[in-house]
Structure 1
Amino acid sequence: ISIAQVYGVVSFYSFFSMVPKGRFPVSICLGTACYVRGAEKVLDEFRKQLNIQVGESTPDGRFSLSCLRCVGACGLAPVVMVGEKVYGRVAPEDVKGIINEYANL
Structure 2
Amino acid sequence: MDLFWLRKFAVLLWKIFLLKRRKLIGLLVEIGLTFLLLAFILLSRRLMPKKFQNASIYDPLPLILPVFTNTSIVYELVYVPSGSDVAKNITEMVKRELNFNFKG
Is the helix fraction higher in 1 or 2? 2
Structures share a fold, TM > 0.5? Answer: no
In our comparison, the structure showing a higher alpha carbon Rg is: 2
Q: TM-score, normalised by structure 2?
A: 0.22
Which one scores higher on RCO, CA 8 angstroms, separation ≥ 6? 1
Is the strand fraction higher in 1 or 2? 1
Q: TM-score, normalised by structure 1?
A: 0.22
